[in-house]
Amino acid sequence: MSTALTPPADAIPPVRHPDAPAPGELLGAHYEHCFGCGGGQPHGLHLAARAGEGVTITAEFTVTTDHQGAPGLAHGGILATALDETLGSLNWLLRVVAVTGRLETDFVRPVPVGTVLHLEAEVTAVHGRKIYCTATGRIGGAEGPVAVRADALFIEVKVDHFIDNGRPEEIRAAMADPDQVRRARAFEVNP
């Protein structure tokens, strides 16, 4: 792990928000057209994440032929995306909006097409707007061998980050969706 992903000495342990989804609860997509978790992407990952105990989540995604790089094997960028999506889902438990600041990925073994990748992630520390977290992806079951792992730094942002930087037509469509507006308001809980 790089020094950029090592929490400073005065970082604090993460605290699960009292309004976070209950352990075992399916988190759902944060946005219908997200490549990682949205159902509106025909070739997306359709990653399904569940809240765990503390500030942890579990997730699964099945590698399809749309996700291959080398013949019959998952593309490394797709595996990094699965880790990034899983790590980003941790923010549901903190009830913050955050974006990936840094992601370091280790590819340990090949992941064949047809494999279900079992992912686990946890927040390890918080320092101001910085959220430090780690994840692993296993094949052959939740206790199977590690195929990929990542350490990441997420940066807390306000919803305006997306409004100011996203394509206007997608922003308008999202803001017209009552579920998106409800989610955005629920996460704007920090001063």
**Domains in the chain with CATH codes:** 10-157 (3.10.129.10), 159-191 (no CATH)
Least reliable range by pLDDT among 48-62, 117-131, 173-187: 173-187
Q: Are 67 and 96 in contact (CB under 8 A)?
A: no
- Both tokens of 142, joined, read 């939740």
The mean of the pLDDT values for the chain is 86
Q: Which residue has the higher pLDDT, 167 or 135?
A: 135
Q: How far is CA 87 from CA 21, 63, 94, in A?
A: 16, 18, 12
Question: Both tokens of residue 87?
Answer: 């790590």
For residue 66, what are its two tokens? 């749309």
Q: Which tens digit of pLDDT belongs to each residue from 29-88? A: 877 777 777 788 888 888 999 999 999 999 999 999 999 999 999 999 999 999 999 999
User: What DSSP designation does 67 have?
Assistant: G
Query: Do the Cβ atoms of 31 and 42 come closer than 8 Å?
Result: no
pTM listed for this prediction = 0.84
